[in-house]
């Protein structure tokens, strides 16, 4: 799919042979590493090069949002690496050794589990967070590997109501042009808009980030949008580690750009649950006398600015017990909902997952609710763009979608509603 700067374009799925790799890696692998060294990886030099290239893609984060912390280190078990680089018993070790020798990756030798068979890998400083280039696989080895991965995701998608619905809606999606996106970016900067606590800027800005006011580089957001869409949309993927959440180009897309996407030729209506995760906490751990929480209520009773409460609620309940106690919201919840906090903390302390059990539980409940919502709407032949606890739909369906979402929340004992 071509992302033309002037003409709006329909959204189709990405060619599975395309992946994003760290900038400069292709040059190093093609022009710097000698063929004699590549021969130690594979007898075919193109295959050897693509093994090196693919490993760098495995330890990079091309779809991380610029204003979020990018995960640098990635854990891989030796069995998993052998399953990928299975042309010989030592192929993956030679790949790692070469990339480390030429300064492309770092290996955390201190991190190991299961008898030293799992290691952590990361791009070196010269390549980490330096941008990405599009790369199209050519060797039979990499093409076949990517094909199998694509088919596995497609099979998984067909069994998942959320992902299946997303696949149905893609042909009806119209993405914004870069010209339209840049016009909105200029407006956000001109109007000094703050998005999620960060001032909007572009490269070369005169502003300096501070603790009170971080900066959000809209050029990085636009680059992310391009990676997510220029060669087609990502096929939806389901993350068991994230409670079954479904991830695709739209969930990863910066929200201010996603707002420009059209469905059936019209701007979409965004419908999301109010204060969902705090209200899930209330449903599971809270006292019967209080059933509903709102960001506004917490802001009014604590004096914390509403915008800060919204940001704090994104992560407060997911933190470790000691970290929670250091946060402004802890005093409020411990004072007004002491029994809820006691039960929540007891769960964190007793679970084999530790404090992370809360985040998993919240996401699982969110996915259960959204799966039911989307399944009901599918029976009515109504489809929208899923973004975790929100649906972006054709405005003509706003009323019925709102009704279904509210009914599902109540059925799950979560006393919230659509904003």
> In the chain, what are the domain boundaries?
18-136
Give the pLDDT confidence of 246-290 residue by residue, as tens digits.
999 999 999 999 999 999 999 999 999 999 999 999 999 987 677
Tell me what percent of the residues of the chain surpass a pLDDT of 70: 93
Break the chain down into helix, strand, coil percent, rounded to 5: 50, 15, 35
What token pair was written down for 374?
Answer: 């989307």
Pairing of strands 237-239, 245-247: antiparallel
| Residue 360 pLDDT > 70 | yes
Q: How confident is the model at residue 102 (pLDDT cuts 50, 70, 90)?
A: very high
User: CA–CA separation, 237 vs 271, rounded Å?
Assistant: 22
* Per-residue pLDDT at 400: 97
Greatest mean pLDDT range, 93-107, 225-239, 288-302: 93-107
* Per-residue pLDDT at 241: 86
Tell me the mean pLDDT in the region 189-217.
Answer: 86
* Per-residue pLDDT at 8: 41
Q: How confident is the model at residue 119 (pLDDT cuts 50, 70, 90)?
A: confident
* Per-residue pLDDT at 368: 97
pLDDT, greater one: 287 or 393: 393
Backbone φ, ψ for residue 234 (5° rounding): -70, 140
* Per-residue pLDDT at 290: 75
Number of Cβ atoms within 10 Å of the Cβ of 52: 27
User: CA–CA separation, 405 vs 271, rounded Å?
Assistant: 9
Number of Cβ atoms within 10 Å of the Cβ of 356: 14
The number of CA neighbours under 13 Å toward the Cβ of 409 is 25
| CATH number, domain 18-136 | 1.10.10
| Residue 116 pLDDT > 60 | no
| Residue 134 pLDDT > 80 | yes
| Residue 77 pLDDT > 90 | no
Give the pLDDT confidence of 9-55 residue by residue, as tens digits.
455 678 889 999 999 999 999 999 999 999 999 999 999 999 999 99
What does pLDDT average to over the chain?
A: 89
């Amino acid at each position: 799919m071509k992302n033309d700067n002037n003409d709006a374009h329909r959204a189709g799925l990405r060619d599975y042979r395309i992946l994003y790799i760290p900038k400069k890696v292709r040059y190093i692998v093609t022009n710097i590493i000698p063929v004699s060294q590549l021969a130690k990886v594979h007898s075919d030099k193109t295959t050897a090069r693509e093994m090196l290239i693919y490993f760098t893609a495995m330890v990079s984060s091309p779809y991380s949002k610029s204003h979020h912390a990018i995960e640098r280190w990635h854990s891989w078990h030796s069995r998993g690496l052998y399953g990928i680089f299975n042309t010989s018993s030592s192929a993956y070790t030679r790949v790692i050794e070469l990339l480390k020798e030429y300064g492309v990756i770092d290996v955390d030798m201190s991190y190991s589990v299961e008898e030293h068979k799992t290691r952590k890998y990361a791009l070196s400083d010269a390549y980490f967070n330096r941008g990405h280039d599009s790369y199209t696989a050519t060797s039979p080895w990499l093409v076949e590997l990517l094909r199998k991965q694509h088919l596995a995701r497609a099979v998984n998608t067909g069994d998942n109501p959320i992902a299946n619905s997303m696949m149905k809606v893609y042909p009806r999606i119209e993405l914004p042009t870069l010209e339209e996106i840049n016009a909105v970016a200029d407006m956000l900067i001109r109007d000094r808009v703050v998005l999620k606590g960060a001032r909007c800027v572009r490269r070369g800005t005169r502003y300096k980030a501070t603790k009170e006011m971080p900066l959000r580089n809209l050029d990085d957001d636009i680059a992310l949008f391009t990676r997510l869409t220029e060669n087609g949309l990502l096929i939806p993927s389901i993350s068991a580690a994230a409670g079954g959440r479904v991830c695709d180009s739209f969930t990863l897309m910066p929200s201010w750009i996603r707002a420009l996407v059209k469905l059936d030729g019209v701007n979409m209506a965004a419908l999301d649950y109010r204060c969902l995760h705090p209200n899930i906490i209330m449903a599971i751990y809270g006292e019967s006398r209080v059933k509903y929480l709102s960001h506004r209520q917490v802001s009014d009773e604590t004096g914390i600015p509403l915008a800060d409460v919204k940001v704090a609620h994104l992560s407060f309940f997911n933190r470790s017990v000691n970290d929670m106690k250091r946060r402004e919201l802890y005093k409020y919840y411990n004072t007004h909902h002491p029994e809820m906090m006691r039960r929540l903390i007891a769960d964190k302390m007793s679970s084999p997952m530790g404090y992370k059990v809360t985040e998993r539980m919240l996401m699982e409940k969110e996915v259960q609710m959204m799966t039911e919502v989307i399944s009901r709407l599918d029976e009515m032949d109504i489809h929208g763009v899923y973004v975790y606890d929100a649906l972006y739909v054709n405005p003509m369906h706003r009323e019925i979608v709102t009704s279904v979402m509210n009914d599902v929340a109540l059925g799950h004992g979560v006393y919230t509603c659509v904003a």
